[in-house]
């Protein structure tokens, strides 16, 4: 039991006063900047970036599960984001508008950094045969829609050959019960990280180049589609950043250029890739359904151009696993044991198939 006479630690008066002053200063500046945003003729802070921040906070609540942690992280990131307004080089012609435009992006950077720093394991995106299958189908559609095959450069040909080999490799594992060894899990995990890096770069570029489309669009449906894309990006931003870090760590730094520290880091990184990739195998029937459904969706969208390319890809990533789980739930018969074992840990339960 706690001693009732024991004094609780109290913050020094000077530190408390400093916190109050900083809080008052940030509150005053926030009021000034928000007023300028509202009265400005330009869209200094687009609605899209606000939708992205909502998605980011929504996903962080799911990760940490505590609103107090969410609020604390938001406040810290918000305070740190005022760093963008500091004139670090002392140049003349202080451009306040450009700094306000960069303000929400700096907030997102600090928010993602704090999330990954304190929740590294939870923010490491899980991967599996089902996820890799969807990614391989999607990257094939992406390459065809981008008409990559028309680029006559030797390095593009090399990337195409490597991509085709990895697509076939992921299809082989999705449609067979070939045991997933550590090396195969490592290869598939790196392939998954690479595919997500390609999609995230294109998605960020596409949204950034059309960041005021919601405000300027006369088409409500088009504006809603863009807003949903921003929300999806906010939800996945932390995982995309962690995915990117898991790839960039393979590149040696100036202080660790192929020395013993670099190879130790590579060893740990390989282990991280292997551990995040599930050794549970999917049912080939579910893989076939996924292949047919996604192929039909992508072919229709390619011919009729119903949705932006990156939107239909992310929609498939989000919605198809839910449909597969619904299909498993409907068709699952617990009294009938499967001819092929899908899970090693839980051989009689098909409802937990990893996607």
Dist. CA 332–CA 355, nearest whole Å = 16
Cβ pair 307, 315 in contact under 8 A: yes
More confident residue, 206 or 142: 142
More confident residue, 164 or 330: 164
Cβ pair 204, 233 in contact under 8 A: yes
Q: Given 105, 123, 141, which residue is the final one in a domain? A: 123
> Based on the domain organization, do 187 and 115 belong to the same domain?
no
pLDDT category, 107, cuts 50, 70, 90?
very high
> Based on the domain organization, do 105 and 157 belong to the same domain?
no
Query: pLDDT at position 141, please?
Result: 94
Predicted confidence (pLDDT) per residue in 234-258, tens digit: 888 888 888 888 888 888 877 777 7
Dist. CA 230–CA 51, nearest whole Å = 6
Tokens read off for 323: 């449909």
93: alpha, beta or left? (left if phi > 0; alpha if psi -120 to 50)? left
Q: Given a cut of 50, is residue 342 above it in pLDDT?
A: no
Dist. CA 237–CA 232, nearest whole Å = 8
Question: What's the whole-number mean pLDDT along residues 277-281?
Answer: 85
Residue 34 domain-assigned (yes or no): no
Read off the DSSP letter of residue 85. Answer: G
More confident residue, 41 or 127: 127
> Based on the domain organization, do 100 and 167 belong to the same domain?
no
Please state the domain count of the chain.
2
Q: Given a cut of 80, is residue 142 above it in pLDDT?
A: yes
Which position has the token pair 């044991």? 337
Q: Any idea which of 99-103, 216-220, 320-324 has the lowest mean pLDDT?
A: 216-220
Residue 16 burial (CB count, 10 A)? 11
Tokens read off for 40: 């400005």
124: alpha, beta or left? (left if phi > 0; alpha if psi -120 to 50)? beta
> Based on the domain organization, do 81 and 166 belong to the same domain?
no
pLDDT category, 14, cuts 50, 70, 90?
low
Q: Any bridge partners for residue 277, and if so which? A: 127
Give the structural domain span for 113.
44-86+95-123
Which position has the token pair 């390459």? 143
Q: Exposed (0-12), middle (13-18) or buried (19+): which is 331, by Cβ within 10 Å?
A: exposed
Residue 325 domain-assigned (yes or no): yes
Question: What's the whole-number mean pLDDT along residues 93-103?
Answer: 80
> Based on the domain organization, do 80 and 148 belong to the same domain?
no
Q: Given a cut of 50, is residue 2 above it in pLDDT?
A: no
Cβ pair 197, 178 in contact under 8 A: no
Residue 122 burial (CB count, 10 A)? 16
> Based on the domain organization, do 259 and 287 belong to the same domain?
yes
> Based on the domain organization, do 104 and 147 belong to the same domain?
no
pLDDT category, 218, cuts 50, 70, 90?
confident
Residue 222 domain-assigned (yes or no): yes
Dist. CA 164–CA 158, nearest whole Å = 10
How many Cα atoms are found within 13 Å in the side-chain-facing hemisphere of 334?
5
Dist. CA 91–CA 95, nearest whole Å = 10
Query: pLDDT at position 88, please?
Result: 65
pTM: 0.76
More confident residue, 215 or 82: 82
Q: Any idea which of 155-159, 215-219, 250-254, 273-277 has the lowest mean pLDDT?
A: 215-219
Predicted confidence (pLDDT) per residue in 186-208, tens digit: 999 999 999 988 888 887 787 77
Residue 125's Cα: distance from chain center in Å? 8
Query: pLDDT at position 95, please?
Result: 78
pLDDT category, 345, cuts 50, 70, 90?
very low
Predicted confidence (pLDDT) per residue in 28-51, tens digit: 777 877 777 777 777 777 888 888
Predicted confidence (pLDDT) per residue in 287-322, tens digit: 898 899 999 999 999 999 888 888 888 888 888 888
Distance of CA 94 to CAs 36, 64, 107, 218, Å?
A: 15, 39, 20, 35
Q: Any bridge partners for residue 127, and if so which? A: 277
What is the SS3 assignment for 107? Answer: helix
Q: Given a cut of 70, is residue 212 above it in pLDDT?
A: no
């Amino acid at each position: 039991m706690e001693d009732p006479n024991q004094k609780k630690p109290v913050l020094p008066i000077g530190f408390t006063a400093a916190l109050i002053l900083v809080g008052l200063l940030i509150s005053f500046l926030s009021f000034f900047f928000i007023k300028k945003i509202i009265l400005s003729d330009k869209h200094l802070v687009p609605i899209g970036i606000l939708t992205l921040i909502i998605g980011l906070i929504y996903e962080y609540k799911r990760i940490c599960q505590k609103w107090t942690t969410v609020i604390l992280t938001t406040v810290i990131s918000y305070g740190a984001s005022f760093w963008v307004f500091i004139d670090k080089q002392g140049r003349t012609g202080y451009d306040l508008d450009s700094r306000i435009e960069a303000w929400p992006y700096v907030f997102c950077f600090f928010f993602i950094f704090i999330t990954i720093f304190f929740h590294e394991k939870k923010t490491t995106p899980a991967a599996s045969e089902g996820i890799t299958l969807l990614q391989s189908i999607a990257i094939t559609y992406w390459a065809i829609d981008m008409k990559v095959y028309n680029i006559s450069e030797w390095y593009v040909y090399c990337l195409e050959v490597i991509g085709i080999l990895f697509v076939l490799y992921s299809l082989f594992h999705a449609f067979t019960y070939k045991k997933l060894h550590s090396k195969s899990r490592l290869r598939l995990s790196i392939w998954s990280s690479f595919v997500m890096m390609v999609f995230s770069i294109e998605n960020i570029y596409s949204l950034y180049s059309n960041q005021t489309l919601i405000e300027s669009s006369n088409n409500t449906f088009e504006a809603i589609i863009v807003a949903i894309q921003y929300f999806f990006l906010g939800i996945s931003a932390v995982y995309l950043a962690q995915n990117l870090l898991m790839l960039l760590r393979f590149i040696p730094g100036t202080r660790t250029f192929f020395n013993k520290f670099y190879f130790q880091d590579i060893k740990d990184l390989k282990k991280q890739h292997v551990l995040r990739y599930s050794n549970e195998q999917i049912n080939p029937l579910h893989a076939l359904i996924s292949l047919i459904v996604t192929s039909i969706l992508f072919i229709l969208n390619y011919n009729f151009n119903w949705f932006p390319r990156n939107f239909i890809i992310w929609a498939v990533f989000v919605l198809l696993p839910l449909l597969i789980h619904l299909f498993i739930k409907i068709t699952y018969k617990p009294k009938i044991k499967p001819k092929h074992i899908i899970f090693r840990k839980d051989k009689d339960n098909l409802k937990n198939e990893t996607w």
